Chains A and B, each alone.
Chain A
Amino acid sequence: MADRKQPIVEIRNLSKSYRRGIQVIPVLENINFDIPEGEFLALMGPSGSGKSTLLNLIAGIDKTDTGTVMVGGLDITSMTETELARWRAANVGFIFQLYNLIPVLTAFENVELPLLLTWLSRKERREHVEMTLQMVGLADRMDHYPSQLSGGQQQRVAIARAIVTDPTLLVADEPTGDLDRVSAEEILELIARLNREFGKTIIMVTHDPHAAGRAHIIKKLEKGILNAHS
């Protein structure tokens, strides 16, 4: 008998639109789905289909127009900005396409950034950061600035920053979009390993079928409407 995992993300009747002047442009329409804990889900779709918007809504960095998003049993759509910020700091790790590291901070300092919002001591933060950089294979590059790292290495640092607080959820928006094939493979393997070995729930937006192939579940968005495909 299959072991049904509890959903860590529950989305109900979610809709989102943007205003451009007086024009209202619908981006997502009546989205409903669950993401079981520990799953690796890929969100695919053509450009403009709303996949990044959906990811942002799940991660709590954008607000829905209608509908609810429950993450870990909490309704994040009813949280205030301050509550959301605190919730994100503790529960969500972000991996962006363009790495988005702070250029004036070293790899160590970039990874340490989320830990500044915790009560960890300097020594404890150091231990966490070193362990995380070790996990992503960059222990020997801690004092390097992003400009001194390759694209693949920068993305590893970004992944380390995303996981250093041991979040409930990892969201990745086109994590390999700016990398060459070899680096992209390395990053995908790292992400898959985080899911496989550490049980991280991962939601990855991608337009690359090869990248999506790493996920357990693929969902396709087209013009703001979700098609299910596993």
Chain B
Amino acid sequence: MHILKLIFRNALRHKLRTALTILGITIAILAFGILRTLVSAWYSGVEASSSARLISRNSISLVFSLPLSYKEKIRQIPGVKGVSYAIWFNGTYISEKNFIPNFAVEPKTFLELYPEYLLPEDQKTVFIRDRKSAIAGRKVAERFQWKVGDSITLKGTIFPGTWEFVLRGIYYGAEKSADETQLFFHWNYLNERLKKTTPRRADQTGVYIIGIDNPDQAAEISEAVDKTFKNSLAETLTETEKAFQMSFVTMTQAIVTVIQLVSFLVIIIIMAVVANTMAMTARERIGEYAIMKTLGFGGWHIVILILGESLVITMIGCVLGIILTFPGAGYFGNTMGNFFPVFDVSAMTLLLDVAASFLVGLIAAAFPTWRAVNIRIAEGLRRIG
């Protein structure tokens, strides 16, 4: 008979109490896991950024555009290997609740600079050739059950009017972090209509996407780009794609911080619950621990018994919580897919789950263990009966 067997039997001695405590931990770990995944999802754009891409925008605000004429000048800066451009279109598909990030892009150079968006060659060829075509990510295509060849109509918001496209391709991400919820169409298609309807808005773009040969030169090339357009009507602010994505996260940093705090608060609450369980348990068994000390078992044996029982309970709850986190995150990801294109449970989240459970088990048992180890045997024996 090993101490381990005693630990497990002790943990199951009060089945209802143990089951409820495990349930509490399971829910806490589930909540913690989903909140951490939410925080990771918030940063997914930043994580998916390439160190070999720079984004150049109007230095005043992203709201203001840049002239198309900048392209060639940027292209000539040493260290630049490719330039593309994109403009945020923000068209509505059927209703506003069907949020789809959609952009007008220069298709050929855009796909060259985003090799992580994988498109079958035939679809790529047609997309580049057909000015009224669009491509969509796998997730958004699945969401609306789009197939290649379907007509898609967007109602313009920034650019009023009805905009019709033919879906010529469905791209999928080379990595899990790639955003498959977007729709891209030809910048030229947008520009041609703007020339007729609002000429002053024509020949403009929102951002330039700059591919560079050497990521270590990002700062120098960014500086060179901005220097090129200093004192012009539209000065640029050029930064790494990561920094550009981070600026969006920073706008909502307070929310992210609150989510992180709530996630830790959940763990602290469950720690209190487990501590209560272990305190009750240790109090009931003070006599037994005194018996074991009488028989010659030392303080360390008592420590192993109490801590062991606490960890058995918390780790069972942890495993169940982790198992439920995957379908939970899947459901959350499907529901909130509009806003969080990437909603995957990361290895770091799982590690944090395990670490949190372990910590809860240790800390919750700390005081009952100390008490049980330090109580005098005669005092403990008096508690029996």
User: Which residues does A use to contact B, with CB under 8 Å?
Assistant: 53, 56, 59, 61-62, 81-82, 85-86, 88-90, 94, 96, 98, 100, 102-105, 108-109, 112-114, 116-117, 161
Task: Name the residue on B nearest A171 (C-beta).
Answer: B294
A61-B378, A62-B378, A100-B287 in contact; A117/B297 too (CB < 8 A)? yes
Given A98-B385, A102-B288, check contact A61 B294 (CB 8 Å): yes
Q: How far is the CB of A49 from chain B (nearest CB, A)?
A: 16
**Cβ-closest 3 pairs across A and B:** A89-B296, A104-B9, A61-B377
Q: Is the CB of B377 within 8 A of A105?
A: no
Interface of A is mostly: helix
Known: A56-B378, A98-B384, A98-B385. A85 touches B293 (CB 8 A): yes
Instruction: Give Cα A66 to B9, complex, Å.
Output: 42
Known: A62-B376, A62-B377. A100 touches B1 (CB 8 A): no
The verdict on A100 contacting B384 (CB below 8 Å), with A85-B298, A112-B1, A113-B295 known, is yes
| CA of A117 to CA of B287, assembled, Å | 20
For A116, the chain B residues whose CB sits under 8 A away are 1-3
CA distance A81 to B376 in the complex (A): 10
A61 to B95, CA, bound (A): 79
Smallest CB-CB separation from A117: which chain B residue?
B296
Complex interface: chain A residues within 8 A of B262 (CB)? none
Decide if B9 touches A114 in the complex (CB within 8 Å).
Answer: no
Contacts A89-B295, A98-B385, A113-B295 given; does A105 touch B1 at CB 8 Å: yes
Checking A82, A85, A102, A108 against B291 with a beta-carbon cut-off of 8 angstroms, the contacting residue is A102
Asked if B381 is an interface residue, CB under 8 A from chain A, the answer is yes
A58 to nearest B CB, angstroms? 12
Minimum Cβ distance to chain A for residue B269 (Å): 30
Interface string of B366-385 (1 = CB under 8 A from A): 00000000001110010011
What would be 23 A-B contacts, judged by CB atoms less than 8 Å apart? A53-B378, A56-B377, A59-B294, A61-B377, A61-B378, A62-B377, A85-B293, A85-B296, A85-B298, A88-B294, A88-B295, A88-B296, A89-B296, A89-B297, A96-B291, A104-B13, A109-B5, A113-B1, A113-B292, A114-B296, A116-B2, A117-B297, A161-B295
Which of B1-50 touch A at CB < 8 Å?
Answer: 1-3, 5-6, 9-10, 13
Point out the residues of chain B lying under 8 angstroms from A114, CB to CB. Answer: 295-296
Closest B-chain residue to A100, C-beta based?
B291
CA distance A82 to B292 in the complex (A): 13
CA distance A56 to B381 in the complex (A): 10
- Cβ A102 vs Cβ B6 within 8 A: yes
Distance in angstroms between the alpha carbons of A86 and B297 in the assembled complex: 8
Flag if A109 contacts B1 (CB, 8 Å): yes
Asked if A94 and B6 make an inter-chain contact with CB atoms under 8 angstroms apart, the answer reads no
- Please indicate the chain B residues that have their CB under 8 angstroms from the CB of A104 in the complex: 6, 9-10, 13
